[in-house]
Amino acid sequence: MLASQPLSVQSLSVSGNTFPIPDVVVSDAENEIVFERRQKRYTGEVTYTEVTDTVLNVMNPPKGGWWALLFTCIAMVGIGAWAWTVQIINGIGESGKSHPIMWGFYITTFVFWVGIAHSGTLISAVLYLFRAKFRMPIYRLAEAMTVFAVLTAGLFPLIHMGRVWFFYWLMPYPNQRALWPNFKSPLVWDVFAVSTYLTVSSTFFIVGLIPDIAVARDRAKTWVHRWLYTITSLGWRGSHAQWKHYSGAYLLFAAFATPLVVSVHSVVSWDFAMSIVPGWHATIFPPYFVAGAIFSGVAMVMTLAIPLRKVFSLERIIRLEHFDAMSKLILLTCNVVSYSYATEFYMAWFSNNTFERYQFWFRPFGFMAWAFWIMFFCNCVFPQLLWIKKLRTHIGFLFVLSIFINIGMWFERFNIITQSLAADYIPYSWGGYNFSWVDWGILIGSFGWFGMQMTLFLKFFPIIAICEIKEIMPPPMRGNDEHGKVGTDASPAH
């Protein structure tokens, strides 16, 4: 039986909000109930225990829907693998590449996936340095998306090579003939930029997972899971010394990864800007590509977060205000991208360069104008509806919008590559793109490869950062009975 004690305090402060408490005699249990109600009111009606249980429930043994999704993704990978096998056996001519468009679906999709990868670093690193709290429920998903998107993007330079068994020619390695890659080539810069980005983002991702893996380890019910999480948690016990070193390392990685948001996609844009092809040779490409990468990446985060939120009942953690913040970020980058489109057309007209002028007339009015208008509607027109406040928190609308944005951003890269190469300097050499089933098959396979990795990840590791969610919640009040059973442990690691 708990003893009744008079409360000596006259007010209670939770997250900067002060609540008056009358000086009456109440039991410790009643006191705890009052505090928990107030805590729920100011933290989205979520407590520490609920956060842990809700996130770990995502990792419960899979059901039929998860298996169906996994096998669908594996089937898509199989389609891509078959198409690639046909290309390797019969030659690069099986793809749609032909004179004058020798860059087609493969480089388009490469740039698309590199752009998708950028939002993870933005949300996890840049917004972490700015202490933006709305990133907490979504940044783990964005980090996973970054790593898997880079792994997907890295396949396409190899596919584009044709003779993939000579991939090591792209790397500087000691050889008896002293042959080295041409370091003046932007394509070689891509190898270093993407490999560096993969290394840093993977390390950043793994370090952030460690405290949450320890939570899963302590809750593991089978020896297989306990063994897996014991190894991957790297001996994490949540001690003061470990948290001190973890916080310092995480801050260091965030500061180190932030410049990569700008540098990596700038290097990818130089693949085009360093050439003299009309429509490519422009100094606006680096900032234009970076803004487009953030635009498409945040949309992809929303595409993944909305179904996960519904299927695994994460509504009390990923709340409407988080979607509102992501919508505002999408609206900002949408306007930056739209301004970049307008700048390209203005500079082509103002330069009085015949070839540039014709290139930007050809895009909206040439024989591939349909691709330009799809891009324009998806990237410039449709997202403007986010100015309406109700639509920024309308889940169904946001899901449809995010899919349209990803389609539009793929077509943006398609327009830049194929339309510029289709009509360059000499009309005699102009030509269209020969769409091939191999192109479409490998494109489908890339989405299956990305989806398969995401599907496996969410069943084996926490998809939401448990510890960081708890950091922005007011700590529960400990009970003061002799056994310490009343109240909840305030350590974010539990």
Q: What tens digit of pLDDT does each residue of 79-136 get?
A: 999 999 999 999 888 888 888 888 888 999 999 998 888 777 778 788 888 777 788 8
Residue 30 in any domain: the answer is no
This prediction's pTM: 0.82
Percent of the chain with pLDDT over 70: 87
Q: Please check whether residue 188 is in contact with residue 148, taking contact to mean a CB–CB distance below 8 angstroms.
A: no
- 420 strand-pairing partners: none
Handedness of CA 402, 408, 411, 412 (dihedral sign): negative
What range defines the domain where residue 467 resides?
Answer: 44-471
pLDDT band at 477 (very low <50, low <70, confident <90, very high): low
What's residue 18's pLDDT?
Answer: 45
What's residue 466's pLDDT?
Answer: 86
What's residue 4's pLDDT?
Answer: 39
Q: Which amino acid is at 78?
A: G
Residue 196 in any domain: the answer is yes
Percent of the chain with pLDDT over 90: 31
Q: Which residues contact 303 (CB under 8 A, 6 or more apart)?
A: 399, 402, 403, 406
Helix (H, G, I), strand (E, B) or coil at 219: helix
How many whole angstroms separate alpha carbon 376 and alpha carbon 370? 10
Say yes or no to pLDDT of 380 above 90.
yes
| Mean pLDDT in residue range 441-450 | 95
98: phi then psi, degrees, rounded to nearest 5: -160, 165
Average pLDDT, whole number, for the chain? Answer: 82
Task: For residue 236, give the CATH number of its domain.
Answer: 1.20.1630.10
| Mean pLDDT in residue range 261-284 | 85
How many whole angstroms separate alpha carbon 123 and alpha carbon 125? 6
Does the N-terminal peptide bond of residue 259 adopt cis geometry, omega within 30 degrees of 0?
A: no
Say yes or no to pLDDT of 409 above 90.
yes
| Mean pLDDT in residue range 412-431 | 88
Residue 10 in any domain: the answer is no
Residue 429 in any domain: the answer is yes
Q: Please check whether residue 82 is in contact with residue 441, taking contact to mean a CB–CB distance below 8 angstroms.
A: yes
The candidate with the shortest Cα–Cα distance to 209, out of 116, 253, 143, 302, is: 143
pLDDT band at 46 (very low <50, low <70, confident <90, very high): low
Residue 18 in any domain: the answer is no
What's residue 476's pLDDT?
Answer: 64
| Mean pLDDT in residue range 55-67 | 87
Considering only residues 335 and 424, tell me which one the structure prediction assigns the higher pLDDT.
335
Tokens matching residue 214: 């320890």
Residue 1 in any domain: the answer is no
What's residue 382's pLDDT?
Answer: 94
What are the start-end ranges of the H helices in 154-185?
155-161
Tokens matching residue 432: 């269209």
Residue 86 in any domain: the answer is yes
Count of domains for the chain: 1
Residue 21 in any domain: the answer is no
> 173-187, 234-248, 325-339, 473-487: lowest mean pLDDT where?
473-487
pLDDT band at 481 (very low <50, low <70, confident <90, very high): very low
Q: Distances in Å between the alpha carbon of 113 and those of 73, 147, 171? A: 17, 11, 22
Angle between helices 105-121 and 186-219 (to 10 degrees): 50
Longest dimension (CA), the chain: 95
Say yes or no to pLDDT of 41 above 70.
no
